[in-house]
Structure formats: structure tokens, C-alpha cells
Amino acid sequence: MDFTVYVPHLPRPGETLSGEQFMVAPGGKAGNQAIAAARLGANVSLIACVGDDEFGPRLRASLETDRIDCAGVSVIPGCASGIAMVVVDPSGCNSIVTVEGSNGKLTPDLAARHLQACPTPRLILCELTMPMSTVERILAMANEASVPVLLNASPVRGVLPAHLLKLVEYLVVNEVEAAILSGQPLDSVEDAMSAAHALRAAGARNVLVTLGAKGAVTCFAGENEPRIEFLPAEPVVAIDSTGAGDTFAGAFATAIVAGASDTKAVKFAQSAAAICVTRTGAAPSIPYLWELPSACI
């Protein structure tokens, strides 16, 4: 659950600010990405954990409203649901602090049991708010079943091991995450291209580095050598970037499953994220398919 405060500027250490607006709304990386995929046309099953607090039923109800299969969403007794404290400035930039809560209770065995109960997916979208041991188990199962994985390596926890990256079909990271994972500074599009190339060389088959308002750098596998490209973002007036990265990941996954080319899938994801940043909140700001240009895919 996201607790969002809109402020005149991001607070400095020791500074107390008066907020201009406060909002409580469903969020969470996996929840946002699942909602994005569902609203944009995919059939989605979510494997996750919520707490038995007041937020658990609200989070589940939000997912079910978007027709997401929640059979794999477990309620953890005596545990609080994950929360995020979000601060947003007038330009739409944010700072986020998360508390994992029930997310940390998604064990490898629990996740594996739910995954085995699902129909074989066309693609698995995974992120890092769960224990790393669970991520490793899911990626290994996906590899055994020849199911491609999109890993949104967020929140970043340091360099990912090569054996894990080799199980990833699509690695999606923002510029901060790309810098940490590649061990390279990232201050320009050229730096992003270098980081994307390094992460692909480290094991991931395809790498996407999102650069916020600037756009995205992609490094896709080619017949003989990787194809590196910069795709500028659509110019919009942003008021809240919360959830934009999740919207991008969910939209890209949906487009790939629908059969779009790599580049068209990126442009589709950029169009969805561009709408997201013009609205407040995370899940409430995610667009529906009918809001995107029909030629996106």
C-alpha cells in the first residue's frame, strides 16, 4: 500500500515540510506491474503475499477489480502487508522508502507451489521485493519449462550473479539500477548504452535501461551481434513518476506476449508510462489499452 505525500520540494536532511496533498492507494511493484499488464490486455496471474492487516483485503480487491487471477496470493497470519512511503515534488520526481512486510514471506516453496498450479505462462515477470532465494527458484523453474523471464531488477540489491542473469530473457532496469549492477557511472545516454552492453555481456539476453523523461536504451540480441538503440520518450508534463517504471515493465511484457517486435514493444511501454506520469498515484495512474494509440503494437 502506497502512502504518498506531495511536497513543494524533496526534503533535505533534518528538514520538516508541509505537504500539499496526501493519498493512500494500492501499489507495490508486483501489483503495479500485474495491473499494467491486465489493463493493457494480458491474462495475468499474480503470485504474492499480503498481510492479515487492514490493507491485505484492499490490495487483493484492487487486483481482482482488474480481473487478475489472485489464486496465488497468500495471506500471511500475524504479518503486515508491504508498504511504501512516497514523497513527490512538483516536477513529478519522487523518493520512496519501502517496508517489505508480507513480501518477505514469499518463500521459494510457496512461490513454486503456486507456479506449478498455474497454467504454463507465456512469460514470467519477476522483480526483487521478494527474497532472492525465491527469485532464484522461480527463474530456475522457468528455465526448466522454457518459459522466458522478464526480470525488473528493482529494488536493486547489488550486483546480480552471472548464473542468475543467464536465466533472464529481458532485464529491465532504470539508470540508478543499471549503474549499480554494471559497476559503471551513468550520466548520459552513451553511459547507458555502455551499461546495457555490459549487463548483456554479463549474462542477460536482452537489456532495457529506462532513463525517465529522456527515454530508454535497449540492447537486444541480434543474429551476429547485439543491437543497441536509444529510443527517446514522448514529451509530456509529468506530475508524479510513481509507478512509471512498473507500468513500462508490465506494458513491455504484454506487448512481447502479443507478438510485437522488440522495438514496438518498447514504444508501447513508453506510451503507457507517458500517460502514467501525468496522473497521481501508482496503480490509479496506470492506463487502459483504449487510452493508448491503436498503432502502438
Query: Which active-site residues does the annotation give?
Result: 246
For 24, residues 6+ apart whose C-beta sits below 8 A from its C-beta are: 1, 2, 3, 4
Q: For 237, phi and psi rounded to 5 degrees?
A: -95, 105
What three-state secondary structure class fits 93?
Answer: coil
C-alpha cell at 29: 511493484
Q: Looking at 120-202, which runs of residues are DSSP E strands?
A: 124-127, 149-152, 170-174
Non-local (6+) Cβ contacts of 190 within 8 A are: none
Pairing between β-strand 94-99 and β-strand 83-88 as defined by DSSP bridges: antiparallel
Instruction: Give 131's contacts (C-beta < 8 A, 6+ positions apart).
Output: 104, 106, 107, 108
* Alpha carbon distance 174, 156 (integer Å): 10
Nearest Cα neighbor of 130 from 228, 224, 30 is 30
d(CA 270, CA 264): 10
Which three cell numbers, joined as nine digits, stand for 16? 520538516
The answer to whether 207 and 225 are in contact (CB under 8 A) is no
- The CA distance from 290 to 149, in Å, is 27
10 Å CB burial of residue 146 (0-12, 13-18, 19+) is exposed
